Amino acid sequence: MDEDAFRKELRATDRYACPFGKAILARCCACSLSGRRAIAERETVVCTRAPAHEQCEKLYSLLYDNSQFALKRIHPDAPLTHAQNMKIQCGGLRGMQLAQDESEEVFDVAALVKAAQHTFGGLTELPFSTIIQSVSAFQARKPHGE
């Protein structure tokens, strides 16, 4: 199944697909509100609570918008590569964690989002200049053998 067909199928079958699913599957983070499903021989991550899903969608959108320069994207309408998506997800969440308590490990995305809203007064008030530094610095693991 090609990637576009997979995404359409995912949206059609579960509107609560986690925007940080790749980061969770890659073990960059965890989330107490996540569940896993298999679609077309792939494992996906879904959110178990609609309000939390909405907040994570908003956060992902803000990280995406603020990361364009850091990702060196010339054509913002072009689809993200897997590596760029991982930078936004893993790097963005790590940056949020660092902005709050100087720890890089994200144990619970839902708790991190809730704490960030409390600490900064809302997701739009996050210190994106600091967070985007973590997006830029994030490097995915190298494949075995490299």
Q: What is the pLDDT of residues 44-60, one digit of tens each?
A: 899 999 999 999 999 99
Which residues are paired to 69 by β-bridges? none
Residue 144 lies in a domain: no
pLDDT tens-digit series, residues 121-131: 999 999 999 99
Find out whether 53 and 21 touch, Cβ atoms under 8 Å.
Answer: no
Q: What counts of helices (H) and strands (E) characterise the chain?
A: 7, 2
Q: Which two tokens stand for residue 46?
A: 């879904």
d(CA 82, CA 134): 17
Identify the three-state secondary structure at position 44: strand
pTM: 0.86
* pLDDT above 70 as % of the chain: 87
Q: The domain containing residue 27 runs over which residues?
A: 3-137
In 3D space, the residue among 81, 51, 76, 63 whose CA is nearest the CA of residue 134 turns out to be: 63
Number of domains present in the structure of the chain: 1
Please check whether residue 145 lies inside any domain of the structure: no
